[in-house]
Structure 1
Amino acid sequence: MKNYIRTLVLAISVTLFLCCTTNKEVDLIVYNANIYTVDSSFSRAQAFAIKNGIFIDIGSSEEIMQKYTAKEHIDAQGRAIYPGLYDAHAHFFMLAELLEQVDLGGAQSIAEVVERLKAYQKAYPDKKWLVGGGWDQNLWDGKSFPSKDSLDKYFPETPVFLSRVDYHAAWVNSKALEAARISSAQTVEGGLIVSDTLGVPTGILLDNAMQLVSQYIPAAEERSLLLSLRRAQDSLLSVGLTSIVDAGLTLEQLEYLKKFYQQDSLKIRDYAMIAGNPGSIDKYIRDGFYESDRLTIRSVKLMADGALGSRGACLLDHYHDAATRGFLLHSPEEFDRVIERLALTDFQVNTHAIGDSANRLILDAYGRHLKDGKNRRWRIEHAQVVSPTDFAKFSRFHILPSVQPTHATSDMYWVEDRLGPQRVKGAYAYKELLKQYGKLALGSDFPVEHFNPLYGFHAAVARVDKTGFPKGGFQIENAISREDALRGMTIWAAFSCFQEKKRGSIERGKDADFVIMEKDIMTAPAEELRDIKTWRTVIGGETVFSR
């Protein structure tokens, strides 16, 4: 009996020893890294283990290597690792479309625009329309809007539709106007057909007027659209983006996304906003939320006004350089009705508001109708120009600011001309907005701006352009810290989409989305930030980009 007991005790001891010393098998171990977890204490680590697309442990390299065996190992070689970067305001379809169109970004003159159009037409002679985007009259001598005459001279028989860099204005030729049967000035709610003194359209369309012509542009076929989205996705993954907010999609685009994600044809995570308008909200929200592993639809995007660059942003007083205050895209009464209606649903509402008048209108409407603002996480997209008395409303009504730091460094050359020296102080006020709400969701607004999130990180912390201009930074008092900027493009962006428990930081139980950079953005000199390359991008434990 004693021998039996000794044998039993020995067997139990051996079993316990083996249980304690046998490593648990996982799918991936990443070690020898400088990991910024972006958890609540902003802790650091050296390694983590991943199984079934989830972080299951984080710690030192020694700890993780002793506890686990893995099918795959990644030696980060001391490189910095961050949670997968999250662009909180972007336009996936627009970027995909632009990749197939004439890119006019950075064109320094009308002549350069024409030359790019000619080259494109020569390369694609079968195109029925010439479509492009990215022009900015602020880069040209005189800074005036162009006219259709400049296009008619070279493209008399081909319709031309060219979106301004902010996508709130379009430059078209006579053939495009003819396709839309526009021959004279007409009233457009929330838009403008710019006309000369005789009432003849000049070829410039603002905001809602753009749709009068754009509806006639031939739509891409499904296969072509998917290939374009994949091209755009490849660009996003190459700069460390693992999640994006798709800021305003039509029902047709949403159905395409559902189909593509169900087919596992896309990898990047997409929080898609429904493009709403006061006349059609009911049909948009009838089916309720949609959520899969990679695609979420649970918010409505409203458009309050246009953009500063095209003077369509709605201001409390006249533009400093023009006798206009801009305009709303719908009446105040319509906005109030739709916001009241949405407040009775579970949908999140995110409203584009650029001018100080538009921001005040939407903040006040949110405040009137939201009974539990803290839990609803309704957002103002851009919050670009805010009156001094209105900043506190972000705190009072629990409204989350969703901002794009590169807008500040792109607009700084001319924005004082638009707003004047006093009002400009309430523009791009990211530190003040952070102070009010306690969080900022950071995005790029691509393709309005470049999709590289490090351009936004640099603009947020240094407030200068790629050349380091201006010395000392543009309104540097509203720069934010690197830690806050990283939070804004990871955990706070996830929070703004109700996803902070699933992603946005490197913690046990969360989706294994992360990015490895060649250099550490938290310590690199500011002038080097824009040039830091992504070494590897991982979504759900799967490498989707590597250098």
Structure 2
Amino acid sequence: MRLLPTLAGLGTLLASWQLGATTLMHNFDGYQASEHRLEQFNTLVFDEGKVLATGDFAQLRKQYPEAATIDADGKLLLPGLIDAHGHVLGLGRLQQQLDLRDLDLPQTLHAIKQFSRKQQADEWLIGRGWNQVLWQGKQFPTSAQLDALDIDQPIWLQRVDGHAGWANSAAMKLAGITADTPAPDGGEIIRDEHGKPTGVLIDNAMGLIQGVVPQPTLQEEKAALSTAFELALSLGLTGVHDAGVSEQTLKAYRALAAEGAIPLRVYPMISSDDPKLPALLGAGHVGAPNEKLYVRSIKVYADGALGSRGAALLEPYHDRPKEKGLLIYSQSELSQQMQLATDNDFQVNVHAIGDRANHIVLEILQSLDKQQDQKPFRHRIEHAQVLTLDDIERFPSLNLIASMQPVHATSDKNMAGDRLGERRLEGAYAWRKFLNQGTKLAAGSDFPVEPVNPLFGLHAAVTRRDRQGAPEKGWLAEEAMTLEEALRAFTLDAAYASHQEKFIGSLEPGKFADFILLDRNIFTIDPQEIWQANVLETWVEGERVFARSE
């Protein structure tokens, strides 16, 4: 794999393809999702970073006889893919931290011990990705298991969904967590039968540890974002929606933008829990829809996650009958945050996983709509994982976007039934129900919760199977998307979800020439093989910013 220069000085460092020269690329199988149909073409003409035409080679060669030509050697060409829900800073930082995804408990403990040998004595050992659902017994881990590794450093490991954390005794001591420590509102400290903290903290209780974990500097954040940019480009992403950024991360983005060092399109959502939220919203939008950095939304947090039983449910958990999950904020606090956003002309993107959280969010939006028409905002429900059928039907009247992550369904299939029971699965991961009523889906991955590769998401959307092919007929297969619908969710409708569909999301004349070349045609191969496709080249504004080496 070879990354072409993507940071400062990008335009001067790319020798082969320069802005200002009309270029005609041909000999490829091209597909793009328009509003109503799938379009196919074999030739793309672009100049000064924008598309001039798509269509048939013979016709366009006559129309642009002086254009420089590129033979794409029969590859697949798609518009640049957009991940509508990821965590860019988290992805970049994870490249220097401990990644525990897909490991069983013995493997997890071994990986922690091995990683500790690379650490300085005074460093925190930080990681994420553990998932007790994959472990024998499916029980939450304990600080005792970490303490037994005989590691001197404080250890803090976030669960795969980012809604629970696992600490050793050294970390809890630094945070002052004892048997007498109360859990904050919207959080839970898991305790043993004697009331002693076990080392696992859920949702808002995680802040007790995170408040003492050393935070990255502005320069460290800029470096982590740049690392994430390069990884995203190598996997065919030309746009990402960053789901929740702090004031400092926003500063890092603005500094990179001023340096010309953002090589793809980023749509950060300002985190509603940032203490400077009113001032950040009062300062107005950042950038414009045709720029690499565009900020006009906030990320609101309604509840936790299903895997850690923090998702707020209307009825108790099927496998924990005394629990209904957690609301991160009260309904009145959520309403105030959303009112503040709309008063300042900001789109509201709400994390809501459980059916109770989704119902509360819909009630608030319905109330706001009575004061001011909410449809132009294009508000989004991030995840929209579990809803009642009645609440699913409320999306069209408010012009709400369901911002969903297809890989979550194939990752959660082994525990969602346990958490919800069969009856509530009817409104869970319900892509087909949303599509049938005309609701736009903006697809993403929630990286680094899930792998950043968007081909994994396209595969999951179409097959409802994991990458090993299970279950054979797909999990809740009646909710699957067609490949055309999935492509639109990762391109045109993701662009709509960020108010950028006039500039990106498809290769219509006048839009930016953001596109990718793949090594196989995902429209003609076995759908189970879609995830195996490799991105060969990524182009942004008519410049090749990534090329895979042989």
State whether residues 193 and 201 of structure 1, in contact with CA within 8 Å, keep that contact through their aligned partners in structure 2.
yes
Alignment-derived partner of residue 348 in structure 1: 347
Distance 2:333 2:546 in 1: 45
Distance 2:488 2:342 in 1: 28
Per the alignment, in what secondary structure is the counterpart of residue 257 of structure 1? helix
Q: How far is the alpha carbon of 1:142 from its aligned partner?
A: 0.6
Alignment-derived partner of residue 177 in structure 1: 172
State whether residues 156 and 175 of structure 1, in contact with CA within 8 Å, keep that contact through their aligned partners in structure 2.
no
Does residue 112 of structure 1 match 2:110? no
Which region of structure 1 is more displaced relative to structure 2, 432-441 or 164-173? 432-441
Does residue 165 of structure 1 match 2:160? yes
Amino acid at match of 1:351: V
What are the superposed Cα offsets for residues 236-258 of structure 1, whole Å, 9 maximum, x if unpaired? 11111000000000010010011
Distance 1:171 1:186 in 2: 17
Distance 1:425 1:140 in 2: 27
Which region of structure 1 is more displaced relative to structure 2, 327-336 or 62-71? 62-71
Alignment-derived partner of residue 399 in structure 1: 400
Percent identity between the aligned chains?
38
What are the superposed Cα offsets for residues 114-140 of structure 1, whole Å, 9 maximum, x if unpaired? 211222122233561000000000111
Alignment-derived partner of residue 418 in structure 1: 419
Q: How far is the alpha carbon of 1:38 from its aligned partner?
A: 2.5
Distance 1:433 1:392 in 2: 8
Distance 1:98 1:32 in 2: 39
Distance 1:26 1:69 in 2: 13
Does residue 132 of structure 1 match 2:127? yes
State whether residues 399 and 437 of structure 1, in contact with CA within 8 Å, keep that contact through their aligned partners in structure 2.
no
Q: 1:191 aligns with which of 187, 192, 196?
A: 187
Distance 1:352 1:427 in 2: 15
Q: Which has the higher contact order (CA 8 A, sep 6+)?
A: 2
Amino acid at match of 2:545: V
Which region of structure 1 is more displaced relative to structure 2, 99-108 or 37-46? 37-46
Q: How far is the alpha carbon of 1:425 from its aligned partner?
A: 1.8
Does residue 214 of structure 1 match 2:196? no
Give the aligned CA root-mean-square deviation in angstroms. 1.7
Alignment-derived partner of residue 307 in structure 2: 309
Distance 1:222 1:71 in 2: 44
Alignment-derived partner of residue 269 in structure 1: 265
State whether residues 219 and 252 of structure 2, in contact with CA within 8 Å, keep that contact through their aligned partners in structure 1.
no
Alignment-derived partner of residue 292 in structure 2: 294
Per the alignment, in what secondary structure is the counterpart of residue 111 of structure 2? helix
Q: TM-score, normalised by structure 1?
A: 0.92
Pairs within 5 Å for 1:102-501: 102-109=98-105, 111-125=106-120, 128-184=123-179, 185-277=181-273, 281-291=277-287, 293-322=291-320, 323-370=322-369, 371-501=372-502
State whether residues 119 and 125 of structure 2, in contact with CA within 8 Å, keep that contact through their aligned partners in structure 1.
no
State whether residues 281 and 338 of structure 1, in contact with CA within 8 Å, keep that contact through their aligned partners in structure 2.
no
1:231–1:314: structure 2 CA closer, same or farther, 3 Å change rule? same
State whether residues 160 and 173 of structure 1, in contact with CA within 8 Å, keep that contact through their aligned partners in structure 2.
yes
Pairs within 5 Å for 1:82-121: 82-109=78-105, 111-121=106-116
Alignment-derived partner of residue 11 in structure 2: none
Amino acid at match of 1:42: L
Q: How far is the alpha carbon of 1:72 from its aligned partner?
A: 5.0
State whether residues 161 and 171 of structure 1, in contact with CA within 8 Å, keep that contact through their aligned partners in structure 2.
yes
1:152–1:455: structure 2 CA closer, same or farther, 3 Å change rule? same
Greater Rg over alpha carbons, structure: 1
Amino acid at match of 1:426: G
Does residue 61 of structure 1 match 2:61? no
Alignment-derived partner of residue 80 in structure 1: 76
Which region of structure 1 is more displaced relative to structure 2, 453-462 or 121-130? 121-130
1:127–1:463: structure 2 CA closer, same or farther, 3 Å change rule? farther
Amino acid at match of 2:338: I
Per the alignment, in what secondary structure is the counterpart of residue 333 of structure 1? helix
Distance 2:412 2:274 in 1: 30
Q: How far is the alpha carbon of 1:62 from its aligned partner?
A: 2.2
Q: How far is the alpha carbon of 1:279 from its aligned partner?
A: 6.9
Amino acid at match of 2:315: D
Q: TM-score, normalised by structure 2?
A: 0.92
State whether residues 272 and 337 of structure 2, in contact with CA within 8 Å, keep that contact through their aligned partners in structure 1.
no
Q: How far is the alpha carbon of 1:391 from its aligned partner?
A: 1.1
Alignment-derived partner of residue 3 in structure 2: none
State whether residues 304 and 353 of structure 1, in contact with CA within 8 Å, keep that contact through their aligned partners in structure 2.
yes
Alignment-derived partner of residue 526 in structure 2: 525
Alignment-derived partner of residue 506 in structure 1: 507
Pairs within 5 Å for 1:41-60: 41-60=37-56
1:156–1:519: structure 2 CA closer, same or farther, 3 Å change rule? closer
Per the alignment, in what secondary structure is the counterpart of residue 46 of structure 1? strand
Which region of structure 1 is more displaced relative to structure 2, 44-53 or 159-168? 44-53
Distance 1:136 1:488 in 2: 28
State whether residues 444 and 450 of structure 1, in contact with CA within 8 Å, keep that contact through their aligned partners in structure 2.
yes
Does residue 37 of structure 1 match 2:32? yes
1:223–1:73: structure 2 CA closer, same or farther, 3 Å change rule? farther
Distance 1:156 1:216 in 2: 18
Distance 1:278 1:543 in 2: 37
Q: How far is the alpha carbon of 1:284 from its aligned partner?
A: 2.7
Q: How many residues in Structure 1 have an aligned counterpart in Structure 2?
A: 522
Distance 1:220 1:489 in 2: 31
What are the superposed Cα offsets for residues 478-533 of structure 1, whole Å, 9 maximum, x if unpaired? 00111110000000000010000000000111011001111112222112111011
Which region of structure 1 is more displaced relative to structure 2, 195-204 or 443-452? 195-204
Q: How far is the alpha carbon of 1:70 from its aligned partner?
A: 6.4
Distance 2:115 2:472 in 1: 38
Amino acid at match of 2:184: V
State whether residues 400 and 439 of structure 2, in contact with CA within 8 Å, keep that contact through their aligned partners in structure 1.
no
1:209–1:71: structure 2 CA closer, same or farther, 3 Å change rule? farther
